[in-house]
Amino acid sequence: MGIPIESSPPPGWEREGIDGLLGLFPPGRLSEIVGPRSSGASSLLLALIARITTSGTGGQVAFVDGMDALDPLSAAATGADLSALLWVRCGGRLRVALSAADLLARCPGFALVVLDLDDLGPIPGSACIRLQRAVEGTGATLIVRSERHREGSPASLVLAARRLAPQWMGLRPLTRLAGLRSEISISRSRLHSLSPLGRGSGEGLQGEGLQGEGLQGEGLQGEGPQGEGPQGEGSWTLDWTLSQ
Amino acid sequence: MTRIACLLPTNELQDHAALLQVALAHSPRVEDAGAGCVYLDASGLQSLFGDDARLADRLRDAAFAAGLAIRVGVAASRLGALAAARLGSGVTVVEPGGDAASLAAAPLSLLTLSEPLTTRLSRWGLRTLGELAALPTAGLFERAGAEGVQAQRLARGEDPRPLASWRPVPAFEESVECQWGLETLEPVVERLSELATQLCGRLGARGLAADGFEWVCRLAGGRAHEGALTPAVPLTEAAAVTGLLRLALEARPPRGIVEGLTLRARPTRAGAVQESLTDPSRPSPRFLAATMNRLVALVGSDRIGAPALLDSHRPDAVGLDAYASPSPRRGEGRVRGSRVRGAAPVLALRRLRPPAPAAVTLASGRPVAMRSSRLAGRIVAGVGPWRSSGEWWTTQPWLQDEWDVELADGTLCRLAHDGSAWHIAGIYD
């Protein structure tokens, strides 16, 4: 019996493109995306949501919005299927956001649970551990988006976003904002048992998916691991385009 | 010998459900034809109510007693009965075998025909059912097909289709009286659990599920505590219903001693779906229903759902749709693979809700500095204004000038001026 055509990678699959970055998030684990304002962290989050909701598996995403900051128009511009997105608006209440994330992390069936806190405040250490335990049982990917990384967090993967430069169109005077260039780097990784798509096994993040020379996708210029840095270090330079 | 009675209200503003009940009180076979029209099978009712004229009188009187003014027609076919009721006055009985003759003068508009056939018959100059009935059948079939022949049979008083029987929706309601008043929540939930078990058993026996529940707690002193819940998916499992009821009552407990309980379920037809290994992973309906109700209790029902873009250019015009677990077949037809893959990454805007008021300093009409509770600093670059306005034809027009600016610390944000004040609409991230 032949291999069904659906099993082959779909058109547009770029092992080395942004998928290489988005494919890092391990299921059943707590991950973090940290970064200050205008660092591209939220854009990375929306790209991941779009990837999951529009994939052939029809994944469902729960978005716990601590600050009511989600812009559905931006999400739609990334191509995300909004009907597959459960949006929970917490109105700036940290405890409510943590409780909602805990409930959703324990509900089987969601491919991704996002807890977007931004600058709402640091998560108590006990809450982090509780979230990690909750998501282990369902196999969902749990991502916490906050302004800065909290020491002692049990996160398996921490991606740090850093603003490089805004992209303007036109010379002086400027005519419009075209986008933002930012750098995403791995500031912490405990991924010791990743699948082949998860890049690496016990060797940190030196797998081929993280090699800089592969990051030649559209809108994506890879710079690869930064020299002889610590094991697991890698970075991506991304150009986020402002949708009009 | 088939006899059919048609009940037709004299005006359209009458209680259709009451009319159906009047018909059902006289015959076990009733058809709801819509638009206020009800047919009932009058065959074999002579021994109960007398001949057709007596039955028609009785129907009219029963309707009058129920507050309805109707006209009644009795004939051998539905169309004959309808014509008799519509064209006659009060009560009209067409004798057996007289349908064709009584229909001969009736207009063609009594028939429900497709647009092409209506046009064709009109071009042939046909105006009445009698003219249609008189056409040669073979020629009509050649020109108008099976629909034309079917229409002609109806015009001749032939009605081969049996009545589509209508049944009243059974009331799914259970009640219990508490001999001793219940003062705490736990025994109340236990009683409701028993009622839910009975209701779910009845629903399951009919192949139904419930997509809504209502409860009434009768309190001491004649007061009542009422509530309702709508699960994310239709339910038939008593345990799941009990869990939802417990959560709802914990969120809003009855204020007093409970002396009686009533639980009602809104039945719906639960479609049977064959699951397959290739279906996408989706939240379990039972877990999802419980989780959604906990979330509603946590954040409020107006703050949870699937985001929806409203058909408006007003800034931040978004709403919330009810989030529903996807059906297993929803993914069919979707192109495999992501259209996002390989596409240029999109810069996201983080909205500030509500928009943060800001004090903006202008130089030559351009913002050069801003200060607010969220952000403050010198503006090193900016473009704008992007002017938009809309709904000026309503009582709530809006106007907005937007600027994309970069602060000295590198923050990119969207400033907006609504004609009277500045505010920060969002931060690019």
Chain B residues close to A108, C-beta within 8 Å: 283-284, 287
Q: Which of B306, B335, B383 sits opposite A174 (nearest CB)?
A: B383
Residues sharing a CB contact under 8 Å with residue B266, sequence separation 6 or more, in sequence order:
B172, B210, B211, B212, B213, B214
CB count in 10 Å sphere of residue B180: 8
> Cα separation of B248 and A100, whole Å?
17
Residues sharing a CB contact under 8 Å with residue B5, sequence separation 6 or more, in sequence order:
B27, B39, B40, B42, B52, B55, B56, B59, B72, B73, B74, B81
Pairing of strands B37-41, B4-9: antiparallel
Q: Which of B287, B337, B429 sits opposite A10 (nearest CB)?
A: B337
pLDDT, tens digit (0-9, with 9 covering 90-100), for A121-137 = 778 888 889 999 988 87
Q: Which of A38, A75, A219 sits opposite B344 (nearest CB)?
A: A219
| B151: its two tokens | 């229409």
Chain A residues close to B383, C-beta within 8 Å: 168, 173-177
pLDDT, tens digit (0-9, with 9 covering 90-100), for A14-25 = 445 577 788 888
Q: Which of B299, B316, B382 sits opposite A88 (nearest CB)?
A: B299
Average pLDDT over residues A173-198: 74
Chain A residues close to B342, C-beta within 8 Å: 12-14, 17, 217-218
Placement of tokens 């999802």 in the chain: B288
Closest CA to B24 of B51, B50, B62: B62
Higher pLDDT among residues A207 and B148, named by residue: B148
Is the CB of residue A12 less than 8 Å from the CB of residue B342? yes
Closest CA to A234 of A186, A192, A191: A186
> Cα separation of B18 and A71, whole Å?
49
The whole-number pLDDT of residue A219 equals 34
Q: Which amino acid is at B158?
A: E
Read off the DSSP letter of residue B326: P
Cβ A86–B323 below 8 Å, yes or no?
A: yes
Best probe of the A interface among B301, B340, B414, B415, by most A CBs < 10 A, is B340
Chain A residues close to B320, C-beta within 8 Å: 87
Cβ A18–B347 below 8 Å, yes or no?
A: no
> Cα separation of B286 and A108, whole Å?
10
CA angle B407, A120, A22 (to 5 degrees): 80
User: Which domains does chain A carry?
Assistant: 14-241 (3.40.50.300)
The class level of CATH for B171-270+282-326 reads alpha beta
The whole-number pLDDT of residue A203 equals 35
- CA A62 to chain CA centroid, Å, is 14
The whole-number pLDDT of residue B140 equals 92
Chain A residues close to B276, C-beta within 8 Å: none
| Bridge partner list, B37 | B34
Q: Which amino acid is at A45?
A: L
The whole-number pLDDT of residue B275 equals 59
Cβ B325–A241 below 8 Å, yes or no?
A: no
Question: What are the residue ranges spanned by the domains of chain B?
Answer: 4-155, 171-270+282-326, 349-428
> Cα separation of A198 and B416, whole Å?
43
The whole-number pLDDT of residue A151 equals 78
Directed axis angle between helix B16-24 and helix B52-65, to 10°? 140
Q: Do domains B4-155 and B171-270+282-326 have the same CATH topology?
A: no
Helix H or strand E encompassing B263: strand B258-269
- Confidence check: pLDDT of A49 > 90: yes
> Cα separation of A80 and B162, whole Å?
50
> What residue in B sits closest to A85 (Cα-Cα)?
B306
> What residue in B sits closest to A88 (Cα-Cα)?
B304
Cβ B288–A109 below 8 Å, yes or no?
A: yes
Q: Which CATH architecture has domain B4-155?
A: 2-Layer Sandwich (3.30)
- Confidence check: pLDDT of A213 > 70: no
Instruction: Chunk chain B into consecutive blocks of 10 residues (it has 429) and report each block's average pLDDT, rounded to whole numbers.
Output: 88 80 90 87 88 91 89 92 89 90 90 91 92 93 92 90 83 88 90 92 86 90 88 82 88 89 86 59 71 86 92 90 67 42 76 93 92 91 90 89 93 92 94
A212 band by pLDDT with thresholds 50, 70 and 90? very low
The whole-number pLDDT of residue B74 equals 93
Cβ B429–A241 below 8 Å, yes or no?
A: no
**C-alpha distance from A9 to closest chain B C-alpha (Å):** 8
Evaluate the CA torsion angle B342, B347, B349, B350 in order and state its sign. Answer: positive
CB count in 10 Å sphere of residue B107: 12
> What residue in B sits closest to A47 (Cα-Cα)?
B345
pLDDT, tens digit (0-9, with 9 covering 90-100), for A89-114 = 999 999 999 999 999 998 888 889 99
Instruction: Give me the helices (H) in B177-313, please.
Output: 185-205, 238-251, 285-299
The whole-number pLDDT of residue B424 equals 94
